[in-house]
Each structure stands twice: as structure tokens, then as C-alpha cells.
Amino acid sequence: MNAPQPITVTVTGAGGQIGYAALFRIASGAMFGADQPVALRLLEIPQGVKGAEGAALELIDGAFPLLASIDISTTPDEGFAGTNVALLVGSRPRTAGMERADLLAANGAIFGPQGRAINEHAADDVRVLVVGNPANTNALIAQRNAPDVPAERFTALTRLDHNRAVGLLAERAGARVADISGVTIWGNHSTTQYPDLSHATISGRAALDVVGETWGRGAYIERVANRGAEIIEVRGGSSVASAANAAIDHVRDWALGTGEAWTSVSLPSTGAYGIPEGLIASVPAHAVDGGWRVVEGLEIDAFSRAKIDASVAELAAERDQVAAMGLIPAE
């Protein structure tokens, strides 16, 4: 039997930390399984090319049977040529004295052109995952600059928050991760996110009964939402391996399906759960036949409603800011 055609995966910021942690696992088959070859495209800015070149040398030294090719480029047009899966990791980090508006503007200058290049040069089935912060609004900018690509192909990473929420719940309950289901991250990949245990179960028991509402709707939410800062404080740098792992989980589930369990993914809203249409917000979703399907019919109580609304309001404010700056085309 002939081997399947390689899936082309573009990783932006491939010379950086998350890129380094992700590339070897993608090459080893962690993203699409043990029988699916991959072609890697590493997109960097000139200052990051040496990092990408070094990673490429080590990828060769890994002798990965599934790795069909490695290309390095510094222009989005080349970097996204024929891309089936785009991991947009490279972004402009916030530096001392930088206002949020400056951060949004700097990232608009990256994600607008990348969206346009994806629109023009990527494969027809392209799927995009934005990791670089502010991930949800960067994804919105890219999506709105790619009018010919179906909007639902643009997603942002809240799987890391989801995995953190599951991992910390398992630790608290003394349970196995495999026994937990029904956890949701709502809203933005920021400290306003809402890790929601209302529908979560641990070995079939309501999670809030197991861990108690005081913790599950108090310290737990704070811990998950501030885990990124906790990692920065303890490690002296932002999360890398867990972020790469979450990105691979996200794309693997998208491509291969989630089965019964649901996960959390930031998707362009269709208006479900009162989230304004078009905002790229985290919701509970299954992946079926290569597409995300939002879990329907969950009951949202007053506590959850207020939490979801607060995070969605932050996303709407970010959208309004980038619209005012002309970073997304007018409706």
C-alpha cells in the first residue's frame, strides 16, 4: 500500500521555545498518528532564523521516518504555500512600558499579513491554530484578513487552559485525569477566562460535589486563570512544553476527532450561549469529521452567566480596539 501524502504543517516562530518543543513531537507522529507523514515549514523573522536552522539540523538528526521535508522561510507567502495546518506561534511579546493598545497594534502587523498570506497561498483545507498572545484577538485579526477561508477554520488555543483545569482538578480530588470529563474553559485566554466545573464529573460523580463549591467556584478558578503567571514566576519564563503539548492535542483532536469527551477550543462564535457572533471565544466542543461542533444545550446558571459575560466583554473590547485601529476590515 502507498504511504499517504504528507500533511504540510507551517509553524511560525519555529525558532522560539514553543516551536522547539512542538517540532520534534509533530515529526514523531504525535499530531496525526504513526502512519501519516508530515512536511514541516518553519516560518521566522530574520532574527529568529538561526534558531529555526538549528532546530532543522536536529530534526535531521532525529531521523524521523514520518518527516518528509523541512523548509525554512522568512516570508508568509512562502511559509504558508500549500499549508494544511498552520500553527501561529510567533508573536510580539509585551515588553516593559508597552500599553495593551501597543501590543494589539504590533500583533496586528504580524497577524494581518499572515491571514492574507494564508488566504492566498494555503491549501483549500487549511486549519489554523493561533498560539501567540493575545491569542484570541490575534486569531480574529488573521481570520478577518482571510475572507476566502471559512471562518471556522481559524481557532485559538485554550486547550492549555483546559488541560490545566483538568490536571489541577485531578490533583485536588486525588483522581486520575482519565476519570474526569465535562470541564469547560469559556471566553478569553486571559485571566478573565472561566474554568467551569458545573457539568464536570469525576468517575461519574458531579465534580463540584467531590471538591466542594467553595473551592471549585473560588480558588480553583483563580488558580487555573493565573496558571500562566504562576509558571512564569516559578520557571522564570512562560510555559513552553505544556503549551506545545496543548497545541498538538488541539490539532490532533481536530483532525482525528474527540469521541465522546468534549474539550475547550476558541472558535468564531455563531451566537451560541449568548456569545456575540464572530468573536473568537472559548467554548466546549467535540471534533467530528474534521470540524468542531459546539456542545449544545448546557444549562448556564447565574454564576456561570456572569463569569462568561465578563470574559466575553473583554474579547469584545479587544475586537473594538483592533477595529478602531483598522487592523480588521470593517463589517
How many residues touch ligand NAD (CB under 6 A)?
Answer: 29
Q: Give strand pairing partners of 187.
A: 282
Shortest-Cβ-distance residue relative to ligand NAD = 16
Q: What are phi and psi of 266, to 5 degrees?
A: -90, 115
131 binds ligand NAD (CB under 6 A): yes
Pick between residue 37 and residue 228 the one whose CB is nearest to ligand LMR: 228
Those residues with Cβ within 8 angstroms of residue 81's Cβ, 6 or more apart along the chain or in another chain: 41, 121, 122
Distance of CA 305 to the CA centre of its chain: 23
From the CB of 113, what's the least distance to ligand LMR, in Å? 22
Q: What are phi and psi of 273, to 5 degrees?
A: 55, 30
Distance, CA of 134 to CA of 157 (rounded, Å): 10
231 binds ligand LMR (CB under 6 A): yes
Site for ligand LMR in 61-100 (CB under 6 A): none
From the CB of 17, what's the least distance to ligand NAD, in Å? 4
Pick between residue 43 and residue 86 the one whose CB is nearest to ligand NAD: 43
| C-alpha cell read off for 215 | 473551592
Distance, CA of 168 to CA of 16 (rounded, Å): 27
Pick between residue 12 and residue 143 the one whose CB is nearest to ligand NAD: 12
195 binds ligand NAD (CB under 6 A): no
103 binds ligand NAD (CB under 6 A): no
| C-alpha cell read off for 317 | 473590547
Distance, CA of 131 to CA of 249 (rounded, Å): 13
Distance, CA of 162 to CA of 179 (rounded, Å): 15
Exactly one of 36, 74, 238, 321 binds ligand LMR (CB under 6 A); which one?
Answer: 238
From the CB of 55, what's the least distance to ligand NAD, in Å? 10
Those residues with Cβ within 8 angstroms of residue 59's Cβ, 6 or more apart along the chain or in another chain: 23, 24, 27, 40, 67, 70
| C-alpha cell read off for 160 | 492549555
Please say whether the beta carbons of 247 and 129 come within 8 A.
yes
Pick between residue 239 and residue 269 the one whose CB is nearest to ligand LMR: 239
Known catalytic residue at 189 = yes
| C-alpha cell read off for 65 | 521516518
Exactly one of 7, 11, 15, 202 binds ligand NAD (CB under 6 A); which one?
Answer: 15
From the CB of 277, what's the least distance to ligand NAD, in Å? 23
From the CB of 60, what's the least distance to ligand LMR, in Å? 30
Residue tagged active-site, from 162, 189, 250, 286: 189
Distance, CA of 39 to CA of 155 (rounded, Å): 21
Q: What are phi and psi of 160, to 5 degrees?
A: -65, -45
Pick between residue 37 and residue 132 the one whose CB is nearest to ligand NAD: 132
Exactly one of 30, 81, 157, 200 binds ligand NAD (CB under 6 A); which one?
Answer: 157
Site for ligand LMR in 145-204 (CB under 6 A): 160
Exactly one of 10, 27, 37, 51 binds ligand NAD (CB under 6 A); which one?
Answer: 51
Question: What count of other Cβ atoms lies within 10 Å of the Cβ of residue 185?
Answer: 29
From the CB of 142, what's the least distance to ligand NAD, in Å? 12
Report the relative pairing of strands 180-181 and 201-202 from DSSP bridges: antiparallel
Active site residues per annotation: 189
Which residue ranges make up the site for ligand LMR (CB under 6 A)?
A: 133, 160, 228-229, 231, 238-239
Which residue ranges make up the site for ligand NAD (CB under 6 A)?
A: 12-13, 15-19, 43-45, 47-48, 51, 89-91, 93, 110, 131-133, 135, 157, 160, 189, 238-240, 243
